[in-house]
Structure 1
C-alpha cells in the first residue's frame, strides 16, 4: 500500500503508518488522485449529552524550560484547547477541527484534501460563556498527533459535563499553529531510538504538569495566555481541580500513565492502545487506571502492559475492542471512511487503517466506556460497564 510502512505491533508507539519523518498518529492515506476543490467538510459524530459546547485555545509559555527539540529556543511553547460546557452558544462561531494555518502541512502529511479538512467544523463554539464547576480531563495524543485528533471523544465528555483540555506537544506534533500565524512542525530526530523516546516521554510529562499548573492560574482568575487574549466569560473557577482525569492514545496513553505515577493531581487515567514507555509508565499508582486495547487476536500480551498490571496498586481493568486496530482510537476512524472514495482507498486498505468494526459503532463504544470510567472514578457514579461483560457491547472483551 503506497505511503504505508510495514506492519507494526498492535500497540506501536507510532501509528499504523510511520511517515518519512518517523512520526504519525493518524494513518496516512496513499498518494492518490484528489479533488481540486471540495467545499464541504467532513462530519464528526454528534455528541450525545445535553450540554452545549464551548472552546478556547491558549498559547502557554514555560519559561523554566528551553525547547528540547529546536536548539536556540529559550522557552517551551505549547498550545492547549479547553473544551467546556457552555451556558449558551448564540453568536459564537463553530470552531474548526484544525486551525487554518496548520491545514496545508497536515494535508500533505496525512493525505486528506486540504479543502475538506479546512471546512471541517467541530460542535464547539469559540469563546462561548462557560458553565463551570466541572471535573477536568486532560488528553495527550499519540506521537505526531495534534491536540484535535480525538475531538470525537473529547466532545462527548464535554457534552456530559466535563471540561476537557487537549495538549499540543510542540515539535512532537506533526504541526502546531500559534496565534501569530507561526506553524511549528515536527522536529524530533527521524532515527527514533529508546533514548529519544525516553526524552519524548519526559518532555510530554513536563508539558502536562505545566498545563495543570496553568489551569490553576486560570481557575484563580489569572490569564496565562502568552498574548493575553480574552478568555471566555465564566472560565474563572470553572475547573474542579480536585477531580482531574487523563486519557491518551498510543504514546499519549503512556504519557497519562507516567504523569499519573508522578503527579497525584491526576485521580484516574486511561491508556488507549499505547505501549507503556519508561519506568514511570509501568510503575502504576494507587489510583484507578483503564487499559483499552485494539484487537490483537492470539498475539501475546504487550509485556509493558503485564509489567504495569503487576505494579498497579489502584483499581484496574484491561479491555479489548474486537474489530479495531491501532488507528481506531482517534478521529481518523471517522475521517478516512468519508474520504476513501475521493483519495482512492480500497475497502481492504481502509480496514487496515481503521479496523473492520463500523466507525460509528466503534465511536459509540469508546465514548460509552470512557465516560463510564470517568463517571465512576471522578464522580462516584458506579457503572455496570466497569464490572463485567455487558450484552449491549459484545465487541468489548474483558481481558482481566
Structure 2
C-alpha cells in the first residue's frame, strides 16, 4: 500500500494497488456520436465568459460532509480499453463529518477533468467551452474529521462521459444524512479522469463509437450493442474492484466510516444501468436505484432487443426505477423485462416534467449557466425539463434517502419528515 499527495487538489489522495487474488443512454450513444463528430472540428475560439462560480444546493441532513479522494490500482486486472497491465481508478468518499472546517468546499471538478468535460458535455444549446466548470465548489470538505460510524455504504456511478462529481447534489446530501457515499470514475469512459500529480486520462469512447458507427446516420444495431455491452461489463467490473479494494484503500482515520455489511448503489443513465448490473453480479450490493438508465444495449429507451443479463435474469433484492417524464416500465422495454423477471421488492417513479439530465447537477447548474450566458429558456427546458427546480432536487433527495433508509437501515420514514436520520 502506498500514499501519494495529489498536487493542487483540495482532497487528500490515498493510493492502493491490489497484488493478490482476483475477485472479481439517452446521453448514451447520442453523446458518443456527438463527441465523435466533435473530434473533427476545430477548437472553439469564442471568448470565455468571466469566471463566476456556479452554486450547488446545500445538503439537508444533520451532518457536515467530508471528502477524500482515493486512487485504486487493480494489479490483477488488465485495463480493457488501453494496453496497460492494471486497471486504475479514481473515487471519492463522501462521509458524515464532525465539523466542516472554515475553508471552502472541495472543487466539483479539477482543472483537467473540467477541460475534458467541456469538450464532451452533450447539453443541447449550451456552449460548454464557455463555462468555467472548475470553479464550482461542493459542500464537502477535504480532511474533515469523520463522525463516529459505521455508516451504510452507497456507491454512485455516473452517466457515460460524466465525471463522478456530477451528482454532488445527491451524494453530498446523502452523506449529510448519515451515509458513506463512494463516487466512482470509470477511466477512459469518463470524459477526463485526473490522477495524482495532475495526469489526465481522456475518454476513448468517442473514438470507439466512431469505429463501431462510421456512418452515424445508419448505425448498425449489432455493432452498437457490442460496444455498449463492453462499456457496461467494464463498469460492473470496476464496481467489483472497488468493493474488493476499498477496505485496504481507506486511511486509518476513515476505516470505521463505511459499513461493508450494508451496501447499496445508485447511478444515472449508464450509471443506473451499471448499478443494477453490478447488483446482479455481486451479492454484496443489497439494494439499487436506477435514475433513467435503459438496461439494454440499445441507443434509445423505447428500443427493443439486446437485453442485459440483469434485465433477463431479474433481481432478488430491492430496487427502484426513477424515470424522466413518461419513462416507466410500460414505455421502456428493458425496464418491463427486469420488472417481470425480478423476485425481490421493486418500485418505480416517473417525475412529471423531468428530462434525462434532471437527475444530475445539471438540474441546478444549467439554469445558472443560461442566465449568465443569456441563453433562452428553451435551452434549459430542453435539457432539464419543465419541472420546478427546487422540487426536482427535493423529490430526488427524498426518494433516494427514503429508499436506502428502508433497505439498508430497516427504517420507515414518517410522513412529512423526509428520510430518517439515525443509523
TM-score range, shorter chain: 0.7 to 0.9
1:42 aligns to 2:37 (yes or no): no
Q: Secondary structure at the match of 1:94?
A: coil
1:301 Cα deviation from its structure 2 partner? 1.3
1:151 aligns to 2:168 (yes or no): yes
Provide the rounded CA distance (Å) in 1 between the counterparts of 2:384 and 2:184.
23
Tell which deviates more after alignment, 375-384 or 52-61: 375-384
**After superposition, what is the alpha-carbon deviation per residue over 1:204-245, rounded to whole angstroms, capped at 9, x for unaligned?**
001001111122324xxxx5xxxxxxx3x6201221111110
**After superposition, what is the alpha-carbon deviation per residue over 1:14-62, rounded to whole angstroms, capped at 9, x for unaligned?**
28755533599xxxxxx89664422x31000011111010001111111
1:342 Cα deviation from its structure 2 partner? 3.2
Counterparts in 2 of 1:106 and 1:114: CA distance versus 1, 3 Å: farther
Provide the rounded CA distance (Å) in 1 between the counterparts of 2:102 and 2:54.
23
1:186 aligns to 2:203 (yes or no): yes
Q: Secondary structure at the match of 2:262?
A: strand
Give the corresponding residue for 2:183.
166
Q: From 270, 275, 289, give the equivalent of 1:270.
A: 289
Q: From 388, 399, 405, give the equivalent of 1:358.
A: 388
Give the corresponding residue for 1:96.
107
Q: How many residues align?
A: 357
Contact 1:33 1:342 in 2 (8 A): no
If the length of structure 2 is used for normalisation, what is the TM-score? 0.79
Provide the rounded CA distance (Å) in 2 between the counterparts of 1:145 and 1:122.
16
**Consecutive unaligned residues in structure 1, runs of 5 or more:** 1-10, 25-30, 224-230, 393-400
**After superposition, what is the alpha-carbon deviation per residue over 1:308-367, rounded to whole angstroms, capped at 9, x for unaligned?**
001111100011000001111111111110000333421112101110012221011000
Counterparts in 2 of 1:68 and 1:112: CA distance versus 1, 3 Å: same
Contact 1:97 1:120 in 2 (8 A): yes
Give the corresponding residue for 1:206.
237
1:258 aligns to 2:290 (yes or no): no
Q: From 308, 327, 337, give the equivalent of 1:279.
A: 308
**After superposition, what is the alpha-carbon deviation per residue over 1:78-131, rounded to whole angstroms, capped at 9, x for unaligned?**
100100011222256520010122222222333446663222100000111222
Q: From 97, 101, 121, give the equivalent of 1:86.
A: 97
Counterparts in 2 of 1:41 and 1:19: CA distance versus 1, 3 Å: farther
Q: Which has the higher helix share?
A: 2
1:197 aligns to 2:228 (yes or no): yes
Provide the rounded CA distance (Å) in 1 between the counterparts of 2:338 and 2:197.
42
Counterparts in 2 of 1:305 and 1:297: CA distance versus 1, 3 Å: closer
